Chain A
C-alpha cells in the first residue's frame, strides 16, 4: 500500500515540473529586467494584474491563447504517435490561405454554409500539408522533422506567391497612417464567413464587455478541439492504435496495428488542428490573410505542447499562460514606454522551453534513483 502511494506522489511531482520551469524562467526574466534597470516585481505586477484582473484582460489573454491551443494540440497529438510535427508553421500558412480564399471567393453563399466550408478548408489545407511528411515517413522512413522544416519554407514561399497574386489595395487606415511599404494582404472574406466576436454574444445576454476586444467564437472551437483530441486519443480504437505506435512502433506492428496508416492519420489530424488557426486569425480577427498574423505560431505550439506535457488539458493551460505573457508583455511595453521591449516575452518563452526539458530530465533521474533505492 505504502509503495503505491509513493509512486502516486512521484507522478504528481513529475506532472508539476513545468511549474518549476516557469518559475525559473521568470527568475531569469527578472535578472534581465534588473539589468535593464527596472524593478522586476513592479514589471511582473503590471504584466499579470492587467492580464487577469478584469474581463477585458481575460478576453485579450484568451484571444491570444486560441491559436496556441490549435498549434499546441497539433504538436501534442502527433507526439502521442511518436512524431515530431515541427511543421505547424507551414500547415498554418496553407490552411489559413485556403480558408481565406474560400472566404473571399464564394461570397454569395449563406453563412450557415460558408462558415463550415471555411473551417473545413482551414483544416483540409493544414491536413494536406502535414500529410506529405506523414506519407514520406510511413512509406520511405524519412524523418518527419527534416521534411516538415522544408515544408514550412515551401509554404512560406508558396503563400507569398499566392498573396501577391490575390493582393488587395491598402486599407484607408493604412493610407492614413502613411504606410509606404505595404505588407501584402488579400481581400477581406465575406461578411457571411466571419465568426462573431464574443462581445456581440455577451451584449445580447446583457453582460458588459468592451466592444474592441477581439476574442471570438474561435476560442470555443479551440476548446472543442482539445476535447475532441482527448476523446480520440483515449476513448477510440484509433487513439489506442496511435498511442501504441507512439510507445513502441515495433510492438504495435507485432500486435497487428498498421503503423504506416496510423502515422499518416496522426499527421493528417495534427495538420488539421494547426490549419484551424485560421478560424481565429482570419475568420474572427483580421478577415484577411496577412503573413505576420501567423509568424511563430507553429513554433510556439511546440513550447505549449511541451509545457502542457502533450496532454489536451495541459496544452490549454499552457496556451493560456502564454496568452497572459503575450498580452502582459505588450502592456508592460506601453507602461514602461518601451524601456522593456515586448520581445522579452519571446526570450522568456524560449527560456521556459529549455528549463522544461532540463527539469524533466532532472526529475526523471531523481525519481529513477529513488525508485531504485526503494
Chain B
C-alpha cells in the first residue's frame, strides 16, 4: 500500500503543491529581511491568482496572465510599501487591509466581468522537459526521475532559478548585505550611508512580485481555475515556511516542500488514514509556533522586522 502512495507521481505533485508556498515564503523572506512584515502575502496571492486567469482568458495567452499577476503583485506591494514605509503605518494593519481588499476585489470583479465566482482557465502553459515514457520503455528509475524532475510547468523551473538567485543576492551581493543590515539594525545601516527607504521599497516590491507569481501558479498551473478564496490560507502557510526556514531562501524552500508533502499526503490519505485530514492541515501552523518557542534551534526573526524606521533628527 505504501508503494501506491509514495510513488514518483506523488513526489512530483508534492513539489507542485510546494511551489506557491515556496514563492510566497521567499517573498516574505525578502520583505522581513528588510524589516517589513508582510502578512498581505495571502491577499496578493489571491489577487495574482485571479488576475492570471482573467488575463489568460482575455488574451488567450497564459504567459501574459503570469506577467499580469506579477505586475498586480508589485502594485499591491507598492501599496503596502507606501503605507508602511513612507507613512510608517502599522505594517500588520496594512497587511490585513490588503487581505480584506483582495477578498473583496476578486469576487467583485468575478461578478462584474464573468457573472460567476468560479472561472475556468481557457488555456495553460506548456509542459517543459521530457515526455514521460510508457512503463517498460525505459528503466523504472529513469522514468521516475523524469516524472519527478523533468516534466513540469516552466514556472517550476523558473522557481528553482529564482531560489538560487535569491540565495546569491541575499548572501553574496552588496545589495543583500544592505538588505540584511537594514532589517537587523537600520540605525547602523543609515550611518553607513545605506538608503533605508530605497532598500525596503525594493524588498517589499520583490515580495509582491513573488506572491503574485505564486498566485498565478496556484490558479493557472495547479487548479486550472479561479474560485473565491482559492488561496485558502496558503499565504500564511508561506509565512510559517519562512519562519521554519529561518528567513533563508533554501530553508524556506525546504519547509515549503515539507508542507507541500503534507498537503499532498492529506489529499491522498483522505478516508484511508485514522488521522483526520484536518489535523494534517494544522501541521504547518503548529510547527511554526513550536519552532518559535523551542529552546533548541529556535527561529529568531530579523531584529528590526515590523518596526518603521524613524531617523533620529532635530
Contacts and interface: CB of A to CB of B under 8 A. Distances in A.
A106 interface: no
Interface string B88-103: 1110111011111101
A14 B74 CA distance: 32
Contact of A150 (B89, B94, B289): B289
B285 interface: yes
Interface in B48-88: 79, 83, 87-88
A86 to B, nearest CB: 6
Contact of B89 (A154, A156, A358): A358
Considering residues A147, A351, A353, which has the most beta carbons from chain B within 10 angstroms of its beta carbon? A353
A143 B288 CA distance: 12
B169 interface: no
Interface stretch (A5-13, A93-101, A191-199, A297-305): A297-305
A153 interface: yes
Contacts of A150: 236, 240, 285-286, 288-289
A161 B94 contact: no
Interface in B87-144: 87-90, 92-94, 96-101, 103-105, 107-108, 111-112
Given A153-B285, A341-B108, A362-B87, A84 B92 contact: yes
- Give the interface residue-count category, chain B: 35 or more
Contacts of A344: 104, 108
A327 B94 CA distance: 25
Interface stretch (B11-19, B151-159, B276-284): B276-284
- Give the interface residue-count category, chain A: 35 or more
Contacts of B92: 84, 86, 145
A358 B292 contact: no
A154 B83 contact: no
A158 B100 contact: no
B78 to A, nearest CB: 12
B111 A161 contact: no
A41 interface: no
A350 B288 contact: no
A238 to B, nearest CB: 25
A306 B90 CA distance: 11
Given A147-B292, A296-B103, A346-B100, A153 B83 contact: no
B39 interface: yes
Nearest to A347: B104
Interface string B238-258: 011001000000000000000
Contacts of B101: 346-347, 350-351
A354 B79 contact: yes
Interface string A356-374: 0110111000000000000
B233 A341 contact: no
Interface string B278-312: 11011001101100110000000100001000000
A146 B278 contact: no
Contact of B98 (A140, A339, A350, A358): A350
A36 B281 CA distance: 39
B24 to A, nearest CB: 14
Nearest to A360: B89
A354 B76 CA distance: 12
A296 B43 CA distance: 13
B84 to A, nearest CB: 9
A349 B289 contact: no
Grouping DSSP codes into helix (H, G, I), strand (E, B) and loop, the A interface class, with mixed when no group exceeds half, is helix
A338 interface: yes
A230 interface: no
Contacts of A154: 282, 285-286
A161 B97 CA distance: 29
Contacts of B89: 357-358, 360-361
B306 A299 contact: no
Contacts of B236: 149-150, 152-153
A341 B117 CA distance: 11
Interface string A135-153: 0100010110111011111
Nearest to B90: A357
Considering residues B92, B103, B240, B289, which has the most beta carbons from chain A within 10 angstroms of its beta carbon? B289
A348 B282 CA distance: 32
A43 to B, nearest CB: 14
Contact of A157 (B98, B108, B278, B292): B278
Contacts of B240: 150
A120 interface: no
Interface string B206-229: 000000000000000000000000
Given A84-B92, A149-B39, A338-B111, A354 B83 contact: yes
A244 to B, nearest CB: 21
A313 interface: no
Given A36-B112, A341-B108, A149 B239 contact: yes
A30 interface: no
Considering residues B97, B101, B282, which has the most beta carbons from chain A within 10 angstroms of its beta carbon? B97
A344 B236 CA distance: 24
A285 B269 CA distance: 37
A341 B100 contact: no
B293 A299 contact: no
Given A153-B282, A161-B276, A299-B96, A146 B90 contact: no
Contacts of B97: 303, 350-351, 353-354, 357
13 contacts: A136-B289, A140-B292, A140-B293, A153-B282, A154-B282, A299-B96, A303-B100, A343-B104, A344-B108, A345-B104, A357-B89, A357-B93, A358-B83
10 closest A-B pairs by CB: A346-B104, A350-B101, A357-B89, A161-B278, A341-B111, A150-B285, A353-B97, A343-B108, A347-B104, A350-B100
Interface of B: 37, 39, 79, 83, 87-90, 92-94, 96-101, 103-105, 107-108, 111-112, 233, 236-237, 239-240, 243, 276, 278-279, 281-282, 285-286, 288-289, 292-293, 301, 306
